[in-house]
Structure 1
């Protein structure tokens, strides 16, 4: 109990220290807060100082944080904005990434299961991580922001489908049937939610928005818990349910008064990024097996190799979704944003490591590459579209060139 108490307090300290550290460097370089959360977790975790230990309770909180991250991603996607060209081209790019990623996986680890794990990790895009960065930079609604959202939506949903198909423990045909059943059920729920007016529901949300009842947030937790548990009962990845829950909530609340929706979004951000999501990233740093990574020069060399593979396998196909007549800087930014991956990498490598399908060295190298991608790629991408670190709200017309 004492160890748990110390770990909880220190994790809370790290959660407070991360934004302060990011703020202190803001004038020199804008580093995403998640980078500091992961690095501080590594620093105080067993790999270095050993002050914080991962416990079953903190791991459970971290799982909730990861689920909340995917809920936010599903909730923030505006499907009316990305439908048509952006989503179709992003889907084509992801399929290319999946095939190329599995091919690279076979070259690095000939076992089919290990190759699929590496391939799924390399074809992911961290939409839940990128959305706050785009939003903070004022780019969420810009042409490149819409394109990145489409790439990220497919880059998170696609790998979740692949994980559910290949690692459910069932035959591929059975797994496909179960997955189809889940998609149909959630699709039906989303359709029904989109058709109903929800007058009484919205009225209850409005009445309790500033009271202790908090009907909106309680409903969110119900939807999230129900779909996460349903996906787990069906043997699917829980993140698939979390992502679907975010989409369902967005549809259910779409016709509520705009002022109420803004208040609810603020509350969701408070729960997600003020509490649960930081625990996930800090716990990722705590659990990071630095010893396995530095055990041999060959394993350590995999980190830059996987980083380059993320650029080639995931970044380059993301160009298919670039806005028409994009300038060269916008295209470079698309490659960098598309190659930013971490949550799916953490999830799929954990599956592979727990089932003995990949070594701890490969797992740590993939996670290490994912952490570097979150550290470097969004920063470099923002510098492409804001070359002089100009104000984040600069007019987005600069991203398109041509007649």
Structure 2
């Protein structure tokens, strides 16, 4: 019964988005979480989270980070964008943990809050940038760098601090995983993969579906490896996306487009909606509204996302950016939700943060997805440059 209701909500959510599109642009993920909350135990109680849907939701979260890994174009963000995004993220993590020490009950809770506040929802922002024609503009490149660091950095922090190991051994294990993944990516980049590409082409429209099976194999191997090493599974999923992008890079462009459509169908047509709807079902609205002080944490965390994550993100703004362009970068950088959901789930499972704090963080993340990208795109009029004309010789013209 629960799966039937979730499937119905997954169909209803995009219809509601389209119906309200002329009035207000609401990201699909927000509707999916809100519908889960409405029909879940928090409000109507028509659907409960069960083990089967929780398992599908875990697959959905893994696919979300796999797709995020495939979306990163390292040739675009390397150099200044990635370096400045990395510096900004370290500042965000430090400031976030500092804020967590004030708001949380202890150091471990402060780390959870800090990691949540320093994240950026790359998987949510990239479709928005594509739809706005900004994915390869200076603004889009800066936001992609912020998102790459803002998803990989928190995953590393989660694996270090919550692996169950001492910091020294945890660091060694993490470095080992990164070295193995880096070696796999390097070797994959040196090979032309002619056999694999030929097999992909032959089975692209048959029941064999070699490309999709290969994706699931790579994803499963790296997720299982990361979990076996005591790291967070999302780190493996993210690495799998990066590895697959390298493996398939030299395949015919038409084949790559078809494969991307298939992955999008599996991820955003099936698994990812289950994750976000299940998140809404599990959302503890009672813990959030029972105490006015806890409810007040939602706007506090929303402001902290802007201050802790948004302001340092301005370091990654393109050279000679206008102030409006820097504001847009800050707003995009402060948009976070999937990592917030993941890290607060860890905090609740380990009893390091209360349900109220977790719900307040997720609520702030939902508001950030709803408000910040919309406000960011309004910082400039269509066709207006994000930076002064002299920057064009550094970054190229807007496409």
TM-score (norm 1): 0.95
Q: Secondary structure at the match of 2:38?
A: helix
Aligned positions of 1:198-213 closer than 5 A:
198-213=193-208
Shift of 1:324: 1.1
Moved more, 250-259 or 126-135: 126-135
Aligned positions of 1:234-245 closer than 5 A:
234-245=229-240
Report Cα offsets for 1:95-118 as digits up to 9, x if no partner.
000000000011112511011111
Shift of 1:10: 1.1
> Quick one: distance in 1 between partners of 2:55 and 2:158?
20
> Quick one: distance in 2 between partners of 1:51 and 1:332?
42
> Quick one: distance in 2 between partners of 1:24 and 1:219?
38
Unaligned runs of 5+ in 1: 1-5, 388-393
Aligned positions of 1:153-172 closer than 5 A:
153-172=148-167
Equivalent of residue 343 in structure 1, options 338, 348, 368: 338
> Is it true that 1:297 corresponds to 2:292 in the alignment?
yes
Aligned positions of 1:1-400 closer than 5 A:
6-385=1-380, 387=381, 395=383, 398-400=385-387
> Quick one: distance in 1 between partners of 2:275 and 2:137?
29
Shift of 1:323: 0.9
2:393 aligns with none
1:3 aligns with none
> Quick one: distance in 1 between partners of 2:347 and 2:177?
24
> Quick one: distance in 2 between partners of 1:110 and 1:320?
31
> Quick one: distance in 2 between partners of 1:192 and 1:209?
25
> Quick one: distance in 1 between partners of 2:387 and 2:27?
26
Report Cα offsets for 1:120-171 as digits up to 9, x if no partner.
1100111111112212222211211111000000000000000000000000
Q: Secondary structure at the match of 1:399?
A: coil
Shift of 1:402: 4.4
Shift of 1:400: 2.0
> Quick one: distance in 2 between partners of 1:320 and 1:328?
12
> Quick one: distance in 1 between partners of 2:379 and 2:137?
14
Q: CA RMSD in A?
A: 1.0
> Quick one: distance in 2 between partners of 1:138 and 1:275?
26
Unaligned runs of 5+ in 2: 391-399
> Quick one: distance in 1 between partners of 2:378 and 2:203?
43
CA contact (8 A) 2:188 2:247 kept: yes
Q: Secondary structure at the match of 1:398?
A: coil
> Quick one: distance in 2 between partners of 1:63 and 1:376?
26
How many pairs were matched up? Answer: 390
Shift of 1:328: 2.1
Q: Secondary structure at the match of 1:384?
A: coil
Shift of 1:379: 1.4
> Quick one: distance in 2 between partners of 1:208 and 1:370?
41
CA contact (8 A) 2:105 2:353 kept: no
TM-score (norm 2): 0.96
Moved over 4 A (4+): none
> Quick one: distance in 2 between partners of 1:135 and 1:31?
16
> Quick one: distance in 2 between partners of 1:142 and 1:280?
31
> Quick one: distance in 2 between partners of 1:86 and 1:242?
24
Shift of 1:381: 1.2
> Is it true that 1:401 corresponds to 2:396 in the alignment?
no
Report Cα offsets for 1:299-358 as digits up to 9, x if no partner.
000000000000000001000001112122221111111001111111111111111111
> Quick one: distance in 2 between partners of 1:318 and 1:42?
31
Shift of 1:16: 0.8
